[in-house]
Structure 1
Amino acid sequence: MLVLSFGGPEGPRDVLPFLERATAGRGVPRERLLEVAKHYEHFDGVSPLNARNRELIERVRAELAEQGVALPVYFGNRNWHPLVEDTVAEMAAAGVRRALVFATSAYGGYSACRQYHEDIERARESVGEGAPELVKLRHFFDHPDFVGAAADAVRSAAATLPVERRDQARLVFTAHSIPSAADAAAGVPAEGGRRYSRQVAEAARLVAESVDVPDYDVVWQSRSGPPSVPWLEPDVLDHLDALHAKSVQAVLVCPIGFVSDHVEVVWDLDNEASERAAGYGMSFARAATAGAATRFARMVVELVREQLDGVSPRSLGGVPLAGAGVNGQPCGVDCCAPVRRP
């Protein structure tokens, strides 16, 4: 099994090379990279993402052992060490001929899903003859354990709000924004696109239902494109401004779009959003990401067993799933195509 993730720097010298690799070919101005690099300075140049993924891998290994599944677990990244190309080479050298790939994204769309398929193919091509077959596991945005882990985190975060404001707190779900055109292209033609935003909205609905909150918001964060290009809105900071204008006194933020903490979570939410709320005298709490929960590791093993043992896929929602474990095949070749950039 291969756990495949985005990757993050683990020291000050890593930051700019990481950002350059992550944005290669996207036309991001260097001034913007330097601006983002300053965010990493607040954390000594270390993203929490690699550490969280290593912790997840240890929990998955323990769960596999408990369930009697003898499966070695490897770790590879798209944008920083351990790079997936190196990991797949290591797997081939160890005699691995077929592996299941758990990508640390619950959703469809280009960056959330198809790009991981491209990572897999690039890694196999770099190894060449003898590269293992790699099968990416399915989307899991509405899996009961993903929804349950997020709901548990919302309840725990709500308990940290002042008692007198807790019942009136506004529940706000966030996910990484993407260009509107990319979201429109995110799906096979029969689905009409918008796979990413539809799945995020469905995950938010299921979590809100689990915590018995009938009225909530879905907003976006961490956009990085030029102002002239429309991205999914509203931005979380703009939304806090709007909530303040409505005299909302407490907000509970759930980063439903993220499996694990990384700089875009801890900076955009724990720093910028919390400071914006504090400036308004608004109580603020942020739920933990779902990947930290033990039940999330159980979910990963269940996705594996869908392939190994024919376990039936579990889901709570009505938005179509995709990927291996649903129909035994990867997503269609015309699914979630990247938007051509000028």
Structure 2
Amino acid sequence: MTKYDAILLSSFGGPEGQDDVIPFLRNVTRGRGVPDERLEEVAHHYRVHGGVSPINEQNRQLRAALEAELARRGIDLPIHWGNRNWDPYFADAVRDAHRAGHDRLLALVTSAYTSYSGVGQYREDFEKALAETDLADVVTIDRIREYFDHPGFVTPLVEGVDAAVAELTSDSSAGAADAVARDDIHVLFVTHSIPTAAAAASGPQFGTGGAYVAQHCAVAHAVSEAAAAGIPWSLVYQSRSGDPRTPWLEPDINDAIADLAAAGDTRAVIIVPFGFVSDHMEVVWDLDNEALSTAADNELRAVRVPTPGTHPAFVAGLVDLIEERLNDIAPERRAHVTDLGPWPDHEPVGARTDKVEAR
């Protein structure tokens, strides 16, 4: 077994009050020269919800659920929680872990796919945290692999799509006149758009769109085959930002909905936010507000599938991934549901990379 002292739950972070919103957005856009006037446009999304992003509370719930599952399995590993852009920050989490005698950390990142923001930037965050705390020669941070096609992540999505299909096709869901046939449904698998250059850089060997697009397509195919066989689906994107002259992944979900309505052979859409592990502000605003409004404006019925959140299968799957590292499970024995998996491990950050016998 590989010895770890604790888990480092690693996430994006979000504001928890109106006074936090602009400072948080400054953190997110640090180094890009974005003026506060532009930040206020995005701040509106948070201010409508009291200045509170749902992500921090979701991480508290996920942490509690993970602690319970670890305890149920008899795994004695405490969980420290750190964020990229808001309190608790990574440096604080690393410092607290070290004070508690936890110097060999296994990072669980709330990002399932390969991209700079989901992989490279977290590695930079960890390196920065070790430098800020002067613990680079003491603390080691390993990272759990990307889990986009782990059964624990995919199962809640399959259940959600299956339930959405049943809701739309049931005579009792909204009256017989509003029920739709399977042939009239289109599934929209939606994830965060990123610049096309960044997508390509995530894994050029996978062709156009890199590993980022390839992983999403593989998961969409797996979910569709399991829960919506025969129903057409598309990979679409949301939450584009930045310089409009920079090419980003397309189509935008709102454009896709409008195009489906104009084509005339779709009566309902199922929106699957499978690029997110929980209901981030991008889900709450860009999908529950804007995308659902676009569907209504185009006279399409729409159902938004839940994110994995704290679904029991997702929580159990994350602990499976922890045990995978604790027990040095060989790649050929690691769980995955697509031909792309299992995704390989990453090199640890920090100096102590040796493995010792577990206590």
In the superposition, the TM-score normalised over structure 1's length comes to 0.91
Report the number of matched residues.
327
Residue 149 (str. 1) matches residue 142 (str. 2): no
Kindly state the Cα deviation for residue 305 of structure 1 after the two structures are TM-superposed: 0.6
Cα gap change, 1:253 to 1:271, in 2 (>3 Å):
same
Could you tell me which of 129, 133, 138 is aligned with 1:127?
Answer: 133
Kindly state the Cα deviation for residue 195 of structure 1 after the two structures are TM-superposed: 1.3
Alignment-derived partner of residue 245 in structure 2: 228
Contact 2:10 2:82 in 1 (8 A): yes
In the superposition, the TM-score normalised over structure 2's length comes to 0.87
Where 1:267 maps in the other structure, the secondary structure is helix
Alignment-derived partner of residue 165 in structure 1: 180
- How far, CA to CA, are the matches of 2:318 and 2:281 in structure 1? 24
- Mapping of residues 83-98 of structure 1, within 5 Å: 83-98=89-104
- Mapping of residues 10-49 of structure 1, within 5 Å: 10-49=16-55
- Describe the superposition over 1:131-152 as per-residue Cα deviations: whole angstroms up to 9, x where unpaired: 4211011011111121111111
Residue 243 (str. 1) matches residue 249 (str. 2): no
Where 1:285 maps in the other structure, the secondary structure is strand
Residue 74 (str. 1) matches residue 80 (str. 2): yes
Contact 2:334 2:342 in 1 (8 A): no
- Mapping of residues 54-65 of structure 1, within 5 Å: 54-65=60-71
Alignment-derived partner of residue 270 in structure 1: 288
- How far, CA to CA, are the matches of 1:35 and 1:128 in structure 2? 38
Task: Give the letter for the 1:174 counterpart.
Answer: V
Cα gap change, 1:268 to 1:96, in 2 (>3 Å):
same
Task: Give the letter for the 1:121 counterpart.
Answer: E
Larger radius of gyration: 2
Contact 1:4 1:102 in 2 (8 A): yes
Where 2:45 maps in the other structure, the secondary structure is helix
Cα gap change, 1:115 to 1:323, in 2 (>3 Å):
farther
Task: Give the letter for the 2:92 counterpart.
Answer: D
The answer for unaligned runs of 5 or more in structure 2 is 1-6, 171-178, 350-359
Where 1:291 maps in the other structure, the secondary structure is coil
- Describe the superposition over 1:251-272 as per-residue Cα deviations: whole angstroms up to 9, x where unpaired: 1100010011111111000000
Kindly state the Cα deviation for residue 63 of structure 1 after the two structures are TM-superposed: 0.8
Contact 1:174 1:257 in 2 (8 A): yes
Contact 1:323 1:329 in 2 (8 A): no
Contact 1:322 1:330 in 2 (8 A): no
Could you tell me which of 271, 288, 297 is aligned with 1:253?
Answer: 271
Identity %: 43
- How far, CA to CA, are the matches of 1:149 and 1:330 in structure 2? 30
- Mapping of residues 300-311 of structure 1, within 5 Å: 300-311=318-329
Task: Give the letter for the 1:245 counterpart.
Answer: A
- Describe the superposition over 1:234-258 as per-residue Cα deviations: whole angstroms up to 9, x where unpaired: 0001101101102221111000100
RMSD of equivalent CA atoms: 1.8
- How far, CA to CA, are the matches of 1:112 and 1:291 in structure 2? 17
Task: Give the letter for the 2:83 counterpart.
Answer: N
Alignment-derived partner of residue 352 in structure 2: none
Cα gap change, 1:330 to 1:241, in 2 (>3 Å):
farther
Contact 1:202 1:317 in 2 (8 A): yes
Alignment-derived partner of residue 207 in structure 1: 223
